[in-house]
């Protein structure tokens, strides 16, 4: 499974949605179910999936599906297929 | 005035909220006078709360004028709200302006973004001592309320302010909801001391929360166990928080690991960490562990707050006199509320508890007189004749595997819910070894997420076993 698929799977499992609902509008502010409890689970899942430890700043600013990828790229997780 | 707020210098700041609105003690007193002139004393008011100055001033306005509020969250489930309205027929409601259109009641008064509306109901006689109503943390969908009297709130505010040694200089960040007994207690104890409360609707996971802490130079933080889970996830021990010097915890038990780490962090950095224990039925706090004991009494709730007394009861309900003992935790003190209400007529009832409350928690007392909560009385199973704590099993599993976990069950079998498929066999083996009870006494279920409410408490009734993947 490539990183994008893994990344999407964390979201689709946690929010109980399908891949096509993941777009630039999938943000902390827009998604009703995305509260602090889910946020904690999300970060924990992503850290486990990609074997990284996010910095405080990155956990706090992880406010959307799209931005999350930019943040993980800082930890050398690539989302572009080679 | 409620909590003696008129004792403080009028220009001192009582509260600041996310909008940056500042409310002085003088302003709060003026508001309370005006608010009180809008309706008869002894009216019941449903206050739909959010952590803003509007909600806070309505609460103070009610209590200062012998008007009786029921504090509930503005986001309360509407079916439950309708049910509560039918049962308790409040003549008035105090709510954020944005909600007015939902109810279509005439507006009597506006202040700090909130409005007072008149419902179709008429005031009715209630007990003279009744001061305030709260729902209990456990009540979901039930109209059960806790009946507070005036002395409860004042005594607890005063005694809790004393144990923390709050002064006018303190600035408490309050993200726990106002309508939640612990959140309200943080507010009450600070206002009693003439300190400032920083009300926030931001949650711990939002950058705004931390910006607020820094900008407003918050000195005190109070959290529930879930708050501390978030703090640790955020690696808060590495954050630069020079002004934040007191960390308090209540509303449930931290894992021993988190307790020890927080105590260690506090002692390394010259901060204070207080574990506390409270219930809605005792107007919040009834016990606390002095900060200097946090490192040596990991997991303890310490001793009674000033003015109160803790005791243990055996299975027959008799007080246990031995120093070191285990039994149901009881408390005596001026903050014990009057009892429950299940219907409108119950608001006529007087003090049913007479200053004494059985918590329904099983606790252990050590040789130094410090208490440790072992779990809810109802959260113990008797498996193969042995008493097993569901809460302790949850903690053991969480500590060992670093995973989320919930245990329930009957005296025939314990059901363990986890979110990670890969640990299913290990969890079962581990808990069998720890409790020394055979593996067939345990069943493990995999769920996608453990359901929790807004304060992070597990909602056992929402755990759907049918949806879970059963794994023996």
DSSP secondary structure of A7-62: HHHHHHHHHT--GGG-STT-BTTT-TT--HHHHHHHHHHHHHHHT----HHHHHH-
The domain defined by A3-73 carries CATH number 3.90.580.10 = no
The domain defined by B150-377 carries CATH number 3.40.50.12780 = yes
* Chain-chain contact of A35 with B204 (C-beta, under 8 angstroms): no
* Chain-chain contact of B456 with A39 (C-beta, under 8 angstroms): no
pLDDT of residue B472: 42
What distance in Å separates residue B462's CA from the closest CA in chain A? 16
Cα angle at B90 between B88 and B96, to 5 degrees?
120
Of the candidates A35, A38, A40, the beta carbon closest to that of B229 is on A40
- Among candidate residues B64, B73, B124, the one with its CA nearest the CA of residue B99: B73
Whether the Cβ atoms of residue B77 and residue B130 lie closer than 8 Å to each other: no
Tokens of B321: 């006199």
Q: Complex ipTM, two decimals? A: 0.78
What CATH architecture does domain B2-123 belong to?
3-Layer(aba) Sandwich (3.40)
Q: Chain centroid to CA B113: how far?
A: 26
Tokens of B276: 């506390």
- Among candidate residues B291, B304, B220, B305, the one with its CA nearest the CA of residue B262: B291
B459 CB within 8 Å of a chain A CB: no
Name the residue ranges covered by the structural domains of chain A.
3-73
Q: What is the DSSP letter of B302?
A: B
The domain defined by B384-471 carries CATH number 3.30.300.30 = yes
pLDDT(B466) > 90: no
Q: What's the pTM?
A: 0.84
Whether the Cβ atoms of residue B248 and residue B164 lie closer than 8 Å to each other: yes
pLDDT, tens only, B79-109: 889 999 999 999 999 999 999 999 999 999 9
* Chain-chain contact of B234 with A44 (C-beta, under 8 angstroms): no
Cα–Cα distance for residue pair B212/B232, rounded to 1 Å = 19
pLDDT of residue B469: 55
Share of chain A above pLDDT 70, in %: 98
pLDDT, tens only, B303-314: 999 999 999 999
Residue keyed to tokens 């709360």:
B49
Residue keyed to tokens 């097993």:
B388
Sequence-distant (6+) residues with CB within 8 A of B435 are B383, B386, B388, B393
> What is the average per-residue pLDDT within B201-223?
93
B175 CB within 8 Å of a chain A CB: no
Say whether B150-377 and B2-123 share the same fold: yes
pLDDT(B249) > 90: yes
Name the residue ranges covered by the structural domains of chain B.
2-123, 150-377, 384-471
Of the candidates A14, A44, A61, the beta carbon closest to that of B207 is on A61
Query: Residue B436 to residues B427, B428, B443: CA-CA distances in angstroms?
Result: 14, 12, 15
Pick the range with the lowest mean pLDDT from A51-55, B138-142, B239-243.
B138-142
């Amino acid at each position: 499974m490539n990183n994008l698929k893994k990344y999407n799977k964390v979201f689709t499992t946690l929010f109980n949605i399908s891949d096509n609902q993941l777009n630039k509008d999938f943000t902390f502010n827009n998604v009703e179910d995305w509260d602090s409890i889910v946020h904690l689970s999300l970060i924990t899942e992503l850290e486990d999936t990609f074997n990284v430890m996010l910095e405080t700043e990155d956990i706090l600013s992880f406010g959307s599906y799209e931005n999350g990828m930019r943040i993980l790229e800082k930890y050398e997780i690539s989302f572009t297929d080679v | 005035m409620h909590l003696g707020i008129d004792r403080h210098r009028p220009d001192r700041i009582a509260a600041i909220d996310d909008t940056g609105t500042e409310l002085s003690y003088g302003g709060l007193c003026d508001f309370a006078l005006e608010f009180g002139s809008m309706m008869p004393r002894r009216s019941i008011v449903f206050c739909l709360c959010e952590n803003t100055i509007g909600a806070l001033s309505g609460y103070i306005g009610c209590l200062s004028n012998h008007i009786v509020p029921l504090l509930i969250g503005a986001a309360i489930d509407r079916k439950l709200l309708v049910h509560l309205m039918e049962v308790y027929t409040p003549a008035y409601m105090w709510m954020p302006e944005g909600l007015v259109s939902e109810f279509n009641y005439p507006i009597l008064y506006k202040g700090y973004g909130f409005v007072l509306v008149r419902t179709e109901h008429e005031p009715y006689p209630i007990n003279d001592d009744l001061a305030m109503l709260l729902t209990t943390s456990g009540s979901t969908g039930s109209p059960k309320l806790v009946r507070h009297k005036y002395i409860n709130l004042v005594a607890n505010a005063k005694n809790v302010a004393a144990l923390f040694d709050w002064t006018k200089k303190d600035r408490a960040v309050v993200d726990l909801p106002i309508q939640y007994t612990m959140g309200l207690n943080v507010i009450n104890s600070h206002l009693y001391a003439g300190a400032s409360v920083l009300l926030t609707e931001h949650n711990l996971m939002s950058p705004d929360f931390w910006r607020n802490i820094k900008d407003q130079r918050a000195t005190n933080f109070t959290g529930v166990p879930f708050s501390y889970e978030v703090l640790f996830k955020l690696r808060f021990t590495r954050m630069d928080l020079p002004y934040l010097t007191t960390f308090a915890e209540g509303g449930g038990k931290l894992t021993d690991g988190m307790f020890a780490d927080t105590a260690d962090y506090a002692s390394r950095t010259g901060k204070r960490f207080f574990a506390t224990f409270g219930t809605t039925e005792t107007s919040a706090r009834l016990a606390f562990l002095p900060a200097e004991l946090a490192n040596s009494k990991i997991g303890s709730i310490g001793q009674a707050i000033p003015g109160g007394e803790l005791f243990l009861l055996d299975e027959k309900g008799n007080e246990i006199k031995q120093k070191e003992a285990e039994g149901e935790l009881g408390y005596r003190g001026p903050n014990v509320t009057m009892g429950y209400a299940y219907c409108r007529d119950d608001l006529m009832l007087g003090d049913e508890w007479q200053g004494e409350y059985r918590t329904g928690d099983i606790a252990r007392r050590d040789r130094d007189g410090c208490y440790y909560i072992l779990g809810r009385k109802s959260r113990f199973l008797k498996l193969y004749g042995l008493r097993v704590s569901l809460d302790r099993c949850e903690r053991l599993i969480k500590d060992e595997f670093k995973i989320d976990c919930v245990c329930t069950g009957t005296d025939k079998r314990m059901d363990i819910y986890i979110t990670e498929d890969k640990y299913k066999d290990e969890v079962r083996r581990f808990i069998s070894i720890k409790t020394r009870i055979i593996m067939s006494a345990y069943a493990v279920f995999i769920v996608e997420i453990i359901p929790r409410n807004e304060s992070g408490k597990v909602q056992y009734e929402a755990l759907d076993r049918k949806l879970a993947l059963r794994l023996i």
